[in-house]
Amino acid sequence: MKRILSIAFLSAAVLLANAQVADTIHYPQEKHLKNIRQLTTHGDYAEAYWSFDSKQITFQATNQEWNAPCDQIFSSALESFSPKLISTGTGRTTCSYFLPGDSTILYASTHLAGKDCPPKPAPRADHKYVWAIYESFEIFVADMNGKILKQLTNSPGYDAEATLSPKGDKIVFTSMRSGDPELYTMNIDGSDVKQITNGLGYDGGAFFSPDGKKIVFRASRPTKEEDVKIYKDLLKEGLVMPTAMELFTCDVDGKNLKQVTHLGGANWAPFFSPDGRKIIFSSNHVQNGYHFNLFLCDPDGNNVEQVTYDPVFDAFPVFSPDGKKLIWSSNRNNGGTHDTNLFVADWE
């Protein structure tokens, strides 16, 4: 999900593709991106995250040719890109993240509830765009051969979207255990769980700052009576509507909560730059609907700068720990198909 965006949104976006999208890897305005390399083809790929040494990635993939009818977790060295499955191959997975030592990963999975992919939300009569927050998601630790070593969560409702502090000591994740999707932290062994947000709305897609002191995340914050009712009614169905989200930051204990963006539309997938001086994120505030590009801003929301210029969709941007590269998902160069692929570039 981070994150649960996922592939339904990406496929909808690609319906707006034009001839330019079909064969373009690098748009001239993208001055921060150099030596762009396309890693994947023929599927839907998202949420690629780096190892601590910046040499490996894990990511989620939907590709029938890989025996992944819905999102499964794969890993690969970056230079010799040769993905291998490291989730169970059953259920649906999301949000893999390396743990210290680069020999184990976190990820969330529904496989305990059954081998089949959980159903996608059916088209709605009210035409609302929604994400499913599957209550069967739990968070696991596995080795790089796919052996599950530990289950970190075991609570009623959705537990997913886990990421790790660069310091290697804390995990932040989204949970429905309070009845509303809130952010929690825990130690890397699953102990000392603490709730750090408590505002009505969906809080998710959280990442730590490079020094491990701050957290950036996306959130919906319905306030009007009608919007609150819609939000609560959807939540009863295990659904959220992600069309109005802004970015927030807080301290690792939840204090000093601040709204970063006030752009309107959907602003999500935030990630700190390696020096902590910028936040990169995906947004449709320039062109509403499914036109998403990457943007930079200061941690206080000032100095918004557009980074990508894809006519359709760019999201899930993540800097390598050494600060040299950016990896993200995009509809560019997909030959006019519904494919969403992984791209990596040198960052300037």
- Whether the pLDDT of residue 53 is over 60: the answer is yes
* DSSP letter (8 states) at residue 53: T
What mean pLDDT comes out for the span 222-231?
96
* Residue 288 confidence (pLDDT): 73
- Whether the pLDDT of residue 220 is over 90: the answer is yes
103 against 156, higher pLDDT: 103
* Residue 1 confidence (pLDDT): 54
What mean pLDDT comes out for the span 24-30?
95
The pTM of this model reads: 0.93
Q: For residue 265, what are the contacts with CB-CB under 8 A and spacing of at least 6? A: 243, 244, 283, 284, 285, 288
Query: What are the structural domains of the chain?
Result: 7-347 (2.120.10.30)
What mean pLDDT comes out for the span 259-276?
97
* Alpha carbon separation from 253 to 106, 159, 204 (Å, rounded): 21, 19, 16
- Whether the pLDDT of residue 205 is over 70: the answer is yes
- Whether the pLDDT of residue 19 is over 80: the answer is no
Q: What does the pLDDT look like over 109-166, one tens digit per residue?
A: 999 999 999 999 998 888 889 999 999 999 999 999 999 999 999 998 999 999 999 9
